[in-house]
Amino acid sequence: MTSMIIFFIGLAAQLLFAGRMIVQWVLSEKSKAVVSPKIFWRISLLGSILMCTYGWLQSDAAILVGQLITYFIYIRNLQHKGDWQTYPKWLQVLIISLPFFVLGYILTQNLNWQEKFLDDIPTWLIVMGLCGQILFTFRFVVQFYYSEKIKISVLPPQFWIISLLGSIIIFTYGILRMDYILIMGHGGGMIAYVRNIIIGRKEAKHA
Q: Does residue 147 surpass a pLDDT of 90?
A: yes
pLDDT band, very low/low/confident/very high, at 132 (cuts 50, 70, 90): confident
Measured N-to-C along each axis, helices 3-31 and 180-206 cross at an angle, to the nearest 10 degrees, of 10
Euclidean distance between CA atoms 107 and 118, whole angstroms: 17
CA distance to 6, 8, 94, 96, per residue, from 2 (Å) = 7, 10, 27, 29
Range among 40-44, 93-97, 107-111 with highest mean pLDDT value? 40-44
Residues 6+ apart with CB under 8 A from 79: 85
Q: Does residue 207 surpass a pLDDT of 70?
A: no
Query: What's the confidence (pLDDT) of residue 85?
Result: 93
Count the residues in the chain.
207
* Eight-class DSSP state of 155: -
Q: Spell out the alpha helix ranges (H) of the chain.
A: 3-31, 38-57, 61-80, 89-108, 113-117, 123-150, 157-177, 180-206
pLDDT band, very low/low/confident/very high, at 86 (cuts 50, 70, 90): very high
* 91: number of Cβ within 10 Å: 11
Q: Does residue 204 surpass a pLDDT of 60?
A: yes
pLDDT tens digits for 158-169?
999 999 999 999
